[in-house]
């Protein structure tokens, strides 16, 4: 049972982190070579599919951790307990981040501009889209940074914790 | 560096390599690839080519990191005694580790086939001077190469997931084979 849980746990973190890294290091640079309209279409389709993979990965990682880690050692007086709680906090941050990206930040990138908008309104709408793109960039990079820390903390638990 | 710090560092590198390989392959094959069908074929080809070029760099980095971090992990765990002499072949631990190494070698061979045989076929352009039949033939070669890349990528993904299972059996048990 421990092997199966360990396998699910490792695979879930790998899917989550690897997916985010691929988005940042592969998909983002490729966007330079495409017209904005096409980027928009592909981005939207990818986002709809990827959010379920990310959420499922986090759910499995959280569930497997809850089952495999000994709850009796979750005390703030030990390095193991502090690290385990920090892992839980990172996990909660990641879950919040994915949901924010999936249902707030990502849809904001793909809002269509009404053809009847005046010049000033259109400029304002474009400005909002630019801000949404920047917000998404910041969120995705923060998400990768938190995931990297979470994986480091998780890995350190086998050696007694890092904090 | 203490043995414990080395163990954390090696495990971290090992998991990062797994994440880049497995997570990246899933994102490329099951997220980016299906999304390409929503743009015109010429743009889809640009996406496929550019993303594959970049992703292959990550794949080779991960494949190189597996043995490096694996060796670091092996020595930091002080497990050398468990593989002394013929124990590599006679114990479950040794056989599982050997299985992981063999499967890693299969991934390297498949990676080489994609990088040095199939990718160049995909990168060549269909040229007009070859005539209509030449262009059609060229497109057929490219389609066949693209299908083979996709097939090998999926086989690699299954192998990589099995390697993760073997790794988990070493970390949380005494081996699987």
Q: Which residue has the higher pLDDT, A113 or B29?
A: B29
Domain limits for position A48: 2-159
Residues B103-135 have pLDDT tens digits of 999 999 999 999 998 888 877 765 555 566 777
Contact by Cβ (8 Å): A158, B76: no
CB pairs under 8 A between A and B: 149
Considering its fold, how many domains does chain A have in total? 1
Secondary structure (DSSP) of B46-106: HHHHHHHHHHHHHHHHHHHHHHHHHHHHHHHTT-GGGGTTTHHHHSHHHHHHHHHHHHHHH
Q: Is B12 on the interface with A (CB under 8 A)?
A: yes
| Contact list, A30 vs chain B (CB under 8 Å) | 46-47, 50-51, 54
User: pLDDT-derived band of residue B165, with 50, 70 and 90 as boundaries?
Assistant: very high
**Which among B27, B36, B161 is the nearest to A11, CB-wise?**
B161
Average pLDDT over residues A76-90: 89
| Contact list, B30 vs chain A (CB under 8 Å) | 49, 53
**Which among A3, A20, A38 is the nearest to B172, CB-wise?**
A3
Query: pLDDT averaged over chain B?
Result: 85
Q: Which residue has the higher pLDDT, A114 or B49?
A: B49
The per-residue pLDDT for A93 is 93
What counts of helices (H) and strands (E) characterise chain B?
Answer: 8, 0
- Using the beta-carbon criterion (under 8 Å), do A14 and B32 form an inter-chain contact? no
Q: Note if the pTM is more than 0.90.
A: no
**Which among A3, A30, A151 is the nearest to B173, CB-wise?**
A3
The per-residue pLDDT for A2 is 82
Domain boundaries, chain B: 3-172
The per-residue pLDDT for A33 is 87
- Using the beta-carbon criterion (under 8 Å), do A42 and B12 form an inter-chain contact? no
CA atoms in the 13 A half-sphere facing the CB of B145: 21
Average pLDDT over residues A60-66: 89
Task: Provide ipTM, 2 decimals.
Answer: 0.85
Q: Which residue has the higher pLDDT, B127 or A4?
A: A4
Tokens of B116: 């040095």
How close B84 gets to chain A, by Cα (Å)? 24
């Amino acid at each position: 049972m421990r092997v199966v849980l360990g396998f699910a746990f490792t695979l879930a973190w790998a899917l989550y982190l690897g997916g985010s890294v691929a988005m940042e290091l592969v998909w983002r640079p490729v966007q330079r070579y495409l017209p904005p309209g096409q980027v928009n279409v592909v981005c939207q389709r990818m986002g709809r599919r990827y959010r379920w993979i990310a959420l499922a990965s986090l759910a499995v990682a959280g569930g497997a951790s809850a089952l495999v880690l000994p709850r009796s050692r979750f005390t703030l007086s030990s390095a193991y307990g502090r690290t385990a709680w920090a892992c839980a906090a990172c996990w909660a941050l990641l879950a919040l981040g994915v949901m924010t990206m999936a249902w707030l930040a990502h849809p904001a990138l793909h809002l269509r501009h009404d053809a009847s908008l005046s010049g000033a309104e259109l400029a304002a709408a474009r400005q909002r889209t630019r801000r949404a793109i920047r917000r998404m960039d910041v969120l995705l990079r923060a998400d990768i940074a938190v995931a990297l820390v979470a994986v480091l903390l998780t890995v350190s638990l086998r050696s007694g914790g890092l904090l | 560096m203490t043995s414990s710090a080395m163990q954390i560092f090696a495990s971290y590198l090992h998991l990062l390599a797994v994440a880049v390989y497995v997570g990246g392959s899933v994102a490329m094959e099951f997220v980016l690839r299906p999304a390409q069908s929503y743009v015109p074929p010429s743009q889809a080809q640009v996406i496929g080519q550019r993303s594959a070029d970049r992703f292959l760099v990550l794949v080779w980095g991960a494949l190189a990191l597996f043995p490096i971090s694996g060796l670091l992990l092996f020595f930091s765990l002080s497990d050398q005694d468990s593989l002394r002499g013929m124990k590599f072949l006679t114990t479950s631990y040794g056989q599982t580790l050997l299985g992981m190494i063999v499967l890693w070698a299969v991934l390297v061979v498949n990676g080489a086939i994609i990088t040095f045989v199939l990718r160049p076929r995909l990168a060549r352009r269909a040229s007009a001077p070859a005539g209509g039949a030449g262009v059609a033939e060229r497109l057929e070669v490219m389609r066949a190469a693209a299908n083979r890349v996709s097939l090998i990528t999926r086989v690699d993904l299954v192998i990589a997931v099995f390697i993760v299972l073997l790794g988990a059996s070493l970390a949380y048990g005494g081996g699987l084979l």
